Amino acid sequence: MKFTILGASGFMGSNLVRYLEQKGVECFCPERDYQYTKKEDLGHVVYCIGMTSDFRFKPVETIEAHVCKLNQVLNNSLFSSFLYLSSTRVYNGCVSGDESSCLIVNPNDFSDLYNISKIMGESVCLSKENEKIRVARLSNVVGDDFNSGNFLFSLIKEAVDTGEINLHQSANIERDYINLNDAVHVIENIVLNGKNRLYNVASGHNVSNADVINQIKRITGCEVYIKSEIERLSFPIINNEKIVNEFSFQSKIILDEIANLINTYQIN
């Protein structure tokens, strides 16, 4: 069995490679300029290429990563299955976090560029008649790799490094967080055993900024300053019934893991 991980140098890609190789699975990690042809079987492809918080400064690169490169690989390679990693961020502003929900984007709002490009990437995949081409919408993945621009990581780093947290959004905003090991295990299951084409990979419950900050403050003793109360993000509860029913998924409680994350960051 062979996996091809595109974007293997990134947070999700590198951790997925580590997880698979520990299980003795062959992983091919092509460079950015690799030339894809249908003469080579890539096996099970997981498309982890993407931009995160820096998409505002690199709009062209964001579209290239989420759409253009994706389209190139899909149309010029041979594979057993293909999984595109999208984001539950596409549910911003929606009433429901179900995979069948109609998504809301506004091209006049530059901050929607990320969601628009991810949705386009999803559409490219789902427009193909091949049922082995799937999409996984990941919520906020939490692990011990602090090179990620994850919101929770940024709070922990600021608290430990400076002794304070300056929150530039409302403490009432809620997000879904999923443990890194849980996420990579579900991704493997979707690739090998998935019965659907679109999945939410999420814990299925939201945690507020206030709960996260209070936990970090309790452990580190940091000061907290709320810089803004503007409600800019609105995330519904993400429906994870598909991964629960198909793979018997049980999510870890992220608030219980914050102490270990802080300890890991302090040691490193």
| Nearest-angstrom CA–CA distance, 143 and 185 | 13
Q: How far is CA 130 from the centre of its chain?
A: 23
Angle, alpha carbons 71-74-77 (nearest 5°):
135
With a cut of 90, say whether residue 184 has pLDDT above it: yes
- pLDDT band, residue 149 (cuts 50/70/90): low
Give the residue numbers spanning the domain of 96.
2-142+177-203+233-251
With a cut of 90, say whether residue 144 has pLDDT above it: no
Q: Is 245 in a helix, a strand, or coil?
A: helix
> In DSSP terms, which residues pair with 11 in a beta bridge?
none
Quickly tell me which residue has 């894809």 as its tokens.
36
Residue 137: burial class (beta carbons within 10 Å; 0-12, 13-18, 19+): buried
Indicate whether 262 belongs to any domain. Answer: no
Indicate whether 34 belongs to any domain. Answer: yes
| Nearest-angstrom CA–CA distance, 56 and 180 | 25
What is the predicted pLDDT for the residue at 220?
95
More confident residue, 19 or 32: 19
Q: Strand locations in the chain, DSSP E? A: 2-6, 26-28, 44-47, 81-87, 133-138, 140-142, 164-167, 174-179, 198-201, 206-208, 223-226
More confident residue, 147 or 6: 6
Q: How far is CA 160 from CA 164, 254, 264, in A?
A: 8, 18, 11
The CA radius of gyration of the chain, in Å to the nearest whole number, is: 18
With a cut of 80, say whether residue 228 has pLDDT above it: no
Indicate whether 169 belongs to any domain. Answer: no
More confident residue, 4 or 39: 4
What share of the chain has pLDDT > 70, as a percent?
A: 96
Indicate whether 149 belongs to any domain. Answer: no
Tokens of 229: 């109360």
- pLDDT band, residue 232 (cuts 50/70/90): low
For residue 187, the domain's CATH number is 3.40.50.720
Report yes or no: 184 and 16 within 8 Å, Cβ to Cβ.
yes
- pLDDT band, residue 148 (cuts 50/70/90): low
Indicate whether 260 belongs to any domain. Answer: no
| Nearest-angstrom CA–CA distance, 190 and 199 | 8
- pLDDT band, residue 41 (cuts 50/70/90): very high
| Nearest-angstrom CA–CA distance, 194 and 191 | 6
What share of the chain has pLDDT > 90, as a percent?
A: 75
**126-130, 142-146, 165-169 — which one is most confidently predicted on average?**
126-130
- The per-residue pLDDT of the chain, averaged, comes to 92
pTM over 0.95: no
Indicate whether 209 belongs to any domain. Answer: no
Q: What are phi and psi of 207, to 5 degrees?
A: -125, 130
- Tally the domains of the chain: 1
Tokens of 47: 């498309």
- pLDDT band, residue 29 (cuts 50/70/90): very high
Strand order across the 206-208 sheet = 140-142, 174-179, 206-208
Indicate whether 53 belongs to any domain. Answer: yes
What is the predicted pLDDT for the residue at 170?
84
Indicate whether 31 belongs to any domain. Answer: yes
With a cut of 90, say whether residue 46 has pLDDT above it: yes
Tokens of 26: 């062959």
